[in-house]
Chain A
């Protein structure tokens, strides 16, 4: 069996048996190293328009990532602001980056990770009586969304991260490999296992008792 890319552009567009496929247009490839490096250099030299282009390019992805990892849009918004604050602070100590897209994502990832760690140390008062339920369900969710959210929560951080980057942020696996500085093969294998776990959890949760 070969490695699998779920958002492969080779995938046929038919939807047999009700399977919904992501169209190639949906998987937005935002990582173009050479272009990003030039953009980042312009930003470091004081060009604010470069910062705006970077914002338009990355903010949606980092927001989606943070929102799905933290299950909170408010916290995701705060994380995004923190990311841009840190990037602006780089102007005071110029730095040469090889992979600015990966760097932006790494900041986001670290901030999300810190946020999750701080959650472990503190217990929310309203979560005490409902410990068995997901603690932060967003209002207006469909039952399918709640189900997938609960299943994602049950996965390890590394697995959840891979699936969120692929399914929600639209990164292809070779792009994720570049971001996480892993080999594409390792990413594909991990993602395949994570997806299998996710399906199994959903099957268990959705099956009648």
Chain B
């Protein structure tokens, strides 16, 4: 890399060379092959940028614009109807759900479909919240408030304990054969009792 040539070319392109320096640069360009290559590279870059920009400018951004409009409409609906935390969380989860549904079910390129889904979900959620609020003048709590701590009486505890105790014991004592018998009836023949029931250790 010839740094001096690069810098000279940069200054020439920026119009920062004075008349004498400019002539010197042009004279050098006649003889210096390295500088000629750099000028050629610069010409390729400029040509490429101009033609590339022309191509990119032809691209239609109406999809993104429609997406913006849908987003603005959705945000306006949310802002106008409810500012409560419940509504906000519902809309956020609505967007997320709609996004995932849109991504998996609706195969529309871009996010127009997702946004339209999202806006419809938000709208329905908001309408739901609004109609719920209209129908019930006094908002009811979703979670029941417990006014008093429930303390069961000692008799209830002891009674339930005595009722449960034998059942637990019986379950624990159940063997595989017993359980099998309970389900399928007397299918398995009972094992013959061993002659010497006592263990050899005893």
Contacts and interface: CB of A to CB of B under 8 A. Distances in A.
Interface magnitude class on chain B: 35 or more
Contact of B14 (A8, A52, A147): A8
A21 B11 contact: no
A171 interface: no
Given A20-B43, A77-B110, A199-B38, A91 B79 contact: yes
Contact of A4 (B10, B50, B78, B79): B10
Given A77-B59, A207-B37, 9 more contacts: A4-B13, A5-B14, A46-B79, A63-B59, A63-B61, A77-B63, A78-B111, A145-B48, A145-B52
B88 A147 contact: no
Contact of A19 (B42, B63, B111): B42
B3 interface: yes
Interface stretch (A9-17, A99-107, A126-134, A177-185): A9-17
Contacts of B78: 92
Given A77-B110, A168-B53, A1 B46 contact: no
A18 B43 contact: yes
B48 A144 contact: yes
User: Is chain B's interface secondary structure helix, strand, loop, or mixed overall?
Assistant: helix
B15 A10 contact: yes
Interface string A81-106: 11011001101100000000000000
B13 A11 contact: yes
Contacts of A88: 68, 71-72, 75
A140 interface: yes
Contacts of B51: 142, 144-145
A192 B10 CA distance: 8
Contacts of A155: none
Contact of B59 (A2, A51, A73, A78): A73
A206 B44 contact: yes
Contact of B110 (A22, A81, A192): A81
B39 interface: yes
B11 A1 contact: yes
Interface string A138-166: 00111011011100000000000000000
Nearest to A142: B51
Given A142-B48, A199-B38, A64 B56 contact: yes
5 contacts: A10-B15, A17-B43, A18-B39, A92-B78, A203-B38
Which of A6, A17, A48, A63 has most B Cβ within 10 Å? Answer: A17
Q: Closest 7 A-B residue pairs measured CB to CB?
A: A20-B46, A11-B15, A148-B48, A196-B6, A199-B41, A202-B41, A4-B10
Nearest to B26: A16
Nearest to B8: A1
Interface in B52-80: 52-53, 55-57, 59, 61, 63-65, 67-68, 71-72, 75-76, 78-79
Contacts of B6: 192, 195-196, 199
A198 B48 CA distance: 13
Given A4-B14, A88-B72, A144 B47 contact: yes
Contacts of A52: 68
Nearest to A89: B75
B14 A10 contact: yes
Given A1-B11, A11-B13, A46-B79, A19 B72 contact: no
